[in-house]
A and B are shown apart, each in its own frame.
Chain A
Amino acid sequence: MPTAEKRKTKGLVKFLVSAVIAIAGVLFLQQLLQPKYVDGVVEGAFVAEFYREENKDFDVIFIGDCEVYENFSPQVLWDEYGIHSYIRGSAEQYIMQSYYLLEDTLRYEKPDVVVFNIQSLQFNEAQSEAYNRMSIEGMEWSPAKVGAILSSMRPEEHFLDYVFPILRYHSRWSELASTDVEYLFKTKPVSFNGYYMRVDVRPAENVPTGRPLADYSFGDNAWSYLDKIVDLCAENDIQLLLIKAPSLYPYWYPQWEEQVDAYAAEHNLPYLNFLELQDEVGLDYNTDTYDAGLHMNLSGAEKLSHWLGAYLRENMGLQDRRGDPELDAIWDENRAAYQAEIAAQYERYGMKAD
């Protein structure tokens, strides 16, 4: 080989090796700096956990914010009714994100029922970059994720920050913890089919009433995404159930309730407001909430799931799928983890199992 050509080849090899090392280094740092959400604030891990599910042929998919992932237990729905369900929710998940998460879910299987919590109608647009991150980052790349990003970005955000998260988390090196190294290339489950469990109790006392608002109308953007959810369900032959979880706070205004009622009637959709079904469900805000009425604890979530399971079986025509060997095996494994977590939390909070 002539010398010039040799030099050229050598230069090219040097460039390629350098480029590979440089890119690998940046990717490694990106992986290290991204929040792992395995302790403390674990909500950021919920969305990604869905993809690790072995059997995604769910009967019911819950979509929404903390009012679904803290208030319903898919384990109870399976154990009592044989309903195979999953919760696709994350903290303060905005309605546009719920729409795109539903679209993302439908890339795998079509559920029979989608349960959507309408609390997020109050936000016409995304309110917080941190919540955007927790809802969107865990999504696998697809047109749905692109849509979720574009519809949610706040003015200070950039699309590229989602493509290359190191640009967002570049300064996190100063707050790295041992879990960032431990879970560098692995993760651990933090939810139970999307359910975030808390067993502790903090009774609801002195619940504040809502302060008057200048305008009680939900925004056009929020309505348009509810329309999209309705259309998407209709196109895929999915029954849509609208719910309002029984959270005492943030305050649910009667004027909001009227609008949702009217919408459900207009679109011929079932709508359950659990704030009005407290007695029927048997909720006791002295024992069934862990944060003074904002969210249910395990006791409250199991009561709600028990009631909702019966409703779904009776009104949505869902079949009992217990007896399917594959699902039985999956849920047996889930149950073991679920009960282990209950035991661990009882111990952590110094409580006694009933």
Chain B
Amino acid sequence: MLFTSYGFFGFLLILFLLYYTIPRRFQWVLLLLGSYLFYCISGPTNLVYILCTTLTTWYAARRIAANQQRQKAYLREHKEDLSREEKKSYREGQKKIRRRWVAGCLLLNLAVLGVVKYTGFVIANLNGILHAFGGTVELTWASIALPMGISFYTFMAIGYLIDVYRETVPAEQNPFRFALFVSFFPQLVQGPIGRYGDLAPGLLGEHPFDAHTVTRGLQRMLWGYFKKMVVADRVLTAVTTIIGDTTAYSGAYILFGMVLYTVELYADFTGGIDITIGIAEALGIPMAENFHRPYFSKSLKEYWRRWHITMCSWFRDYLFYPVSTSKWMLKITKAARSRLGERVGKRIPVYLCSFTVWLATGVWHGASWNFIVWGLANWVVLMLSEELEPLYAKFHARFPGLDNRNLPYKIFAVGRTFLLICVLNLFDITSSIGETFRALVSIFTAGNWPVLWDGSLLELGLTGLDYGIAGVACIIMLAVSLVQRRGSVRDKIYAKPYPVRFVLWYGLFLIVLLMGAYGIGYDASQFIYNRF
């Protein structure tokens, strides 16, 4: 069910009405039923996967928590009887048991994710290798449709399991309550990747009707629909046309296409998350923010602190830290320091850990070499930036005016980062790595710059009016982001007299209604991040 479909609006309306009329203690039950209905509509067979993840994670977490309780009780009971060594040995024994539960559950869920998402990719590569060595055997695989949101809910479940293991959250006793955390419908489409500790109190709590809260949620949703329907879905046609034929549309078209795609991706993804958070807010459920004006970043490193925040923090907490503090990584660090010296040696684990994270990030985004190379390209740029840090420092020392306190330099840094993101994003949309590089090279070799102003862009499926609407909408998005730096825009609007507020929000509603790319003549498109 698309967020932009009439069916979804009907579903939401009924859900909201019921949510605020039934006894509050049943609100979470309604959300669970609604979430499963929403999920069922996306494909009833998909329920098998989400149920498998829910039940295995819930059970494993309970066993881990039970083991922790047992351990505490045993140690309390035998506080005086056991020596320090015996206590340590007992603790380690119990920890091993808990680790087995974590490992088993992780393996099972990642295996499910791996099979449905990556088997086709692996088989295709195996066939390629076999053919390269003269093999004639063709391995086949019945492709499985990717269950909606599997990458998101699997990561959420894994995060919960590790949190329980780390004793940062208690294990949920009720499987149905845990099922709601995994399946809460707005986040199934494209995240954010919520944490149990943050999300569960809101999901499972009781929420009386509060007109102000509901209104704020609806306002956030409206802003999301503006980004999705007025910008993202409008420019989609031109992006698809260019990327669909990078031979015909090379050079300046590629530059235009990748900038347009970067705008589309922003409007699509942040718009979708605005809708998700807005729905949750209207239901009285706080949700983690996923963006912090990412295109205002002055470096790629900063960008990754501001873009898809919940994914990045997930990889940091559940992959980077465990890998960097693992025994084998400590051994590598020690060996590298002794053999390569202190300065170089201490960089080796940084490279290895961040390499692991960026490889995983690339793989998580999709089963293709494009995403893997995209992830590693990010890693290379980030590592290079770190290594060149002393050089930058020297430059800034030599030219003290040219730093981030200087507005023109700040604009230059933001523009440079934006362009870098555009280049990296090209890996997202082209069909192969070779095509990506050919397309990039063509920007410098095709020499067809006049297409940017001679009317050729009007043959990409968008009219001048479409470009005009998208352009004005982008200016509105930019203006809102600029204002946001000094606090919530909704709070600022709320402080205005009622007629001004009404005109602003009603105006935004009419813009979406009249200028949204929906209905006959437009292709309703799913959110880009839904396919991840």
A interface vs B, CB < 8 Å? 11, 14, 18, 21-22, 25-26, 29, 129, 156-158, 160-161, 166-168, 170-171, 173-174
A170 touches B498 (CB 8 A): no
- A235 CB → nearest B CB, Å: 36
- Judge whether B465 and A174 touch: CB under 8 Å: yes
**Residues of the B chain whose Cβ atoms lie less than 8 Å from the Cβ of A25:** 506, 510
Q: Cβ of B519 and Cβ of A167 under 8 Å apart? A: yes
26 A-B contact pairs sorted by A residue (CB < 8 Å) = A11-B211, A14-B498, A18-B502, A21-B502, A21-B506, A22-B506, A25-B506, A26-B510, A29-B510, A29-B514, A129-B520, A157-B520, A158-B6, A160-B6, A161-B520, A167-B518, A167-B519, A168-B519, A168-B520, A170-B515, A170-B516, A170-B519, A171-B514, A171-B515, A173-B514, A174-B465
Known: A29-B510, A171-B519, A173-B514. 9 other contacts (CB 8 A): A11-B211, A14-B498, A18-B506, A25-B506, A26-B513, A156-B520, A168-B519, A170-B515, A170-B519
Tell me, rounded to whole Å, the shortest Cβ–Cβ distance linking B494 to chain A: 14
CB distance from A132 to the nearest CB of B (A): 11
The CA of A193 and the CA of B502, in the complex, are separated in Å by 47
Docked pose: A170 CA to B520 CA in angstroms? 10
| Residue of B211, B502, B506, B513 touching A170 (CB-CB under 8 A) | B513
A contact residues around B518 at 8 Å (CB): 167, 170
Residues of A close to B502: CB separation below 8 A = 18, 21
B521 close to A (CB within 8 Å):
yes
The DSSP consensus for interface residues of chain A is helix
A29–B465 Cα distance when bound, in Å, is 20
Q: Which of A18, A22, A26, A171 contacts B521 (CB 8 A)?
A: A171
| Interface residue ranges, B against A (CB under 8 Å) | 6, 211, 465, 498, 502, 506, 509-510, 513-516, 518-521
For A29, list chain B residues within 8 Å (CB): 510, 513-514
For B509, what are the chain A residues with a Cβ–Cβ distance below 8 Å? 22
Q: Which residue of B lies closest to A166 (CB)?
A: B513
Enumerate chain B residues within 8 angstroms of A167, measured Cβ to Cβ: 518-519
How far does the alpha carbon of A14 sit from the alpha carbon of B516 in the complex, in Å? Answer: 28
Taken together as a complex, chains A and B put the C-alpha atoms of A167 and B519 apart, in Å, by 7
Bound together, the chains give a CA A173 to CA B513 distance in angstroms of 11
Question: With a CB–CB cut-off of 8 A, which chain A residues contact B498?
Answer: 14
Complex CA–CA separation, A18 to B514 (angstroms):
20
- CB-defined contacts of B514 to chain A, threshold 8 Å: 29, 170-171, 173
> Could you tell me the distance in whole angstroms from the C-beta of B423 to the nearest C-beta in chain A?
34
How distant is A44 from chain B, measured CB to nearest CB, in Å? 15
CA gap between A29 and B507 in the complex, in Å: 13
- CB of A26, distance to nearest CB on chain B (Å): 7
Interface centre among A156, A168, A173 (most CB of B within 10 A): A156
Q: Which residue of B lies closest to A22 (CB)?
A: B506
A11 to B211, CA, bound (A): 10
Task: Report the Cα distance A300→B202, complex, angstroms.
Answer: 75
- How far apart are the CA atoms of A168 and B514 in the complex, in Å? 10
**Chain A residues, Cβ within 8 Å of B515:** 170-171
For residue B521, which residues in chain A have a CB less than 8 angstroms away from its CB?
A: 171
CA distance A29 to B513 in the complex (A): 10
Per the bound structure, the CA–CA distance linking A162 and B358 in Å amounts to 50
A161 touches B519 (CB 8 A): yes
Most chain B CB within a 10 A radius of its CB, from A21, A166, A174: A174
| Cα(A161)–Cα(B519), bound, Å | 8
The interface centre, meaning the residue of B465, B516, B519 with most chain A CB atoms within 10 A of its CB, is B519
Interchain nearest-CB distance for A158 vs B (Å): 6
Return chain B residues, CB-CB under 8 Å to A173. Answer: 514
Give min CB distance, B63 to chain A, whole Å: 49
A172 CB to closest chain B CB (Å) equals: 9
CA distance A310 to B6 in the complex (A): 53
**Residue of chain B at shortest CB distance from A133:** B520
A15 to B, closest residue via Cβ: B211
Q: How far is the CA of A254 from the CA of B520 in the complex (A)?
A: 37
